[in-house]
Structure 1
Amino acid sequence: LEPALRTHEGVWLGWSGGESETASKATIDEDSLPVRASFEFRPGWREHYYSGFCNRALWPLFHGFPGRVRYTDEDWLAYVAANNEFARHAFDLVSSDGTVWMHDYHLLLAGQSLRGRGFSGPIGLFLHIPFPHADLFDTLPWADELLTAMLDFDMIGFHTEQWAENFRACVRARGREKSMPEISVLPIGVDPLTFVVAPGTVDRDIVGLRAALGERKLILGVDRLDYSKGIPERLLAFERLLERSPEWLSKVSFVQVSVPSREEVPEYAELRRKVETLVGNINGRFGEADWVPVRYLYRSYDHRVLTQLYRLANVGLVTPLRDGLNLVAKEFVVSQDAADPGVLVLSRFAGAAAELKDAVLTNPFHPDGLACDIERALRMEPDERRRRHGLLSAALANKTPQRWAAAFLDRLGTTRVAC
């Protein structure tokens, strides 16, 4: 978003990370590019707004995990209050007819709150996660309040037509079609130029991994540690591969990079324990003195190292159980050597599958099927790998984040003029 903010002389508004008992004006950092404004949360908002309603109600609900949802009145009231506070600061920062672009499930009420303050400019929302089916959305006790608030946005963007249609269905079910905001399906892309590896560039982490791999093939997974990403499911599928096809023993290694996430939420701590137990079981069962089947890295890597990891991998394993888009899939594609590319194995339940139809599309809920698809990718002939990579690269051509942001803002401005 930085290029768009600079072009439009915009301000990025967010939480400072601190807390305060009293309301205050946002702090503006004029020296940052783009200009950033931040404010402090009230005590309890981190727990009940962010960790609570956002990540223990909306996140699992919108990703299709109703069994993980937790609804409490206290969390809902914190969500309402925090959205009002975001709207208050946005109103103070922009002119009455300026443009406000809000992002994601954390701010679904903020457009309505901003309108209630008399703001007359365009207000857009981009939802980066899935929008659920109507029957699932209706399990939310405050479904009507949330949907009514979302109708005050002039435009809402989604990554796929499926998420957009789920939203439309919820609106139609309430007989509110006449209030429908403009809907835009605009999947965000990646900039290939930022995934170019300079000749001779090899980071220390990559040197060590290459030495450990030797002639073995590499399967790579890179994810935030989140239950929606399907990490336990892909570990079980890798285990099934080794069981079903023992010829791969000592011939392939699986590197799973899991970036720490929401560690204060109990479900995420439990997921970490589950993943680490599975890794230990697989390594204990199949490992040899000179071969560790799964290398599990609970940490983040910078962009440069990730690019080299993507390029080194024979198979990119991107198998979320549900995902709004998944940029890792796109990053993997643009990082490849076109003459000798790796193979993308992609969950059909990732939003990116709508664009990346020439990946090996798989069902992560079926361990045997996923194991077969992994083996298919490992055995794929060079001509087939190059053919698929060419088609995937073409599907991503000219879809940079800069163009995505410009397209959204252009449509948003036109929508408000039409109103």
Structure 2
Amino acid sequence: MTEILLPSDPEVRDRCARSMASKAFLTVWEGAVRSGKTVWALCAFALYATRSPDGDFLLSARTTATAETNCITGDYGLLSLFPGAEYRTVGNVRMVRFRTRQGEKRIHVVGASDIRSYMVIRGATFGGWLADEVNMHDRRFVSEALNRTAMSHDRRHMWTLNPDDPGHWIYSEYIDRYEAMDAGERAELGGFAHFWFRPSDNPAMTPAMLASLSRQYPEGTPFHTRYVLGMRCVAEGRVYPFFGPSCVAEPPEGVRAEFASIDFGSVHPTAMGWYGRSPDGAWWKVAEWGPTAEESARMTVADYMDVFERETERLGGIRRDRLTIDYGGGGEALVREAERRRWYPVNPDKSVLDGIQATAMVLSSGALRVSPSCRRTIDELSSYHWREGRGETVPDKVRDDFADETRYAVSTFIEPRIRRRRRWSRT
């Protein structure tokens, strides 16, 4: 079994111990990234599942892949906490199985972000439930998962999350509502415990790691406030508040396009962008193209591909598999036209918040700069705002075509290459 590294600070150590010993109906671990909250939640869940008289339990995360990464594999995953456990597909369900003195235990692993995800667990019965990043779950799944434990002999629920918008439904409908209960109401509920953690609470985080984490998310963004400071905050104002002259520069001589990104629009303007890399490893948005309103009204997908191929040739050409086209919003027609011309476009990674985080990181760190010729990109990144007052973290969908196209390029091509380069540099 994995040896758990305990914090040296007595207060933090006591907080961790109390969180793992909680027998409440709901125990919540909330805090910044890399604060250790998932480790403590997994340890608590492992102890609970081992001792519980029930045999079946639920583990949910944004996706099953996320559950595997955060909760099952790795030094502190369930496979390490339960020596001899196996992770396999049983029927249509991914499951962690292990044996105790009470018999076999089964932890059902489910992705919970899809609007239909609740249907996977409908009709099932679980003893208890661990939700990783519960604020990323579908609302109906959370309600259904709580229903699925009603017949438990030892009913417990354990949630982890990074701080979110204070108006998020996970707070108003559950966490803050339980927090506001008096002692009698909490006793009727079955108990409620809420623990906060910061990166400095994690004994595995060195000073250098803490400094690197602080630099990872640009100050002034909701991601820095939530993921580094560990505080809830409203996403308001500019999405990229740091974006300014320091993010704009002429590409060095000799930088040529390596790949391209297209956000095709049948009801909004189409945006195209081309990206290249300089010898020092920095990335550059070297060119952009978008139609005028008059052009947009009369252009066909063949016309758009004509423009794309003409501009790509002018920029020196790119490999035919280094093109991403958004398949939504009528984009499939452009994809088919591109494939007819022997291009091999990929569907971009369209995760909005993950993409915005990645774009903020590369722009603020100087890993990506924008050519002064890309005027529409500069205008949109400078004015891109959060939509306010809805209890959710989403950007305002106004004049965002080149902002979206840039995000697709970063998520699909640039950020994965930066991540791989960092891994190689460590070996």
TM-score scaled by length of structure 2? 0.32
Higher relative contact order structure (alpha carbons within 8 Å, sequence separation ≥ 6): 2
The structure with the largest helix share of the pair is: 1
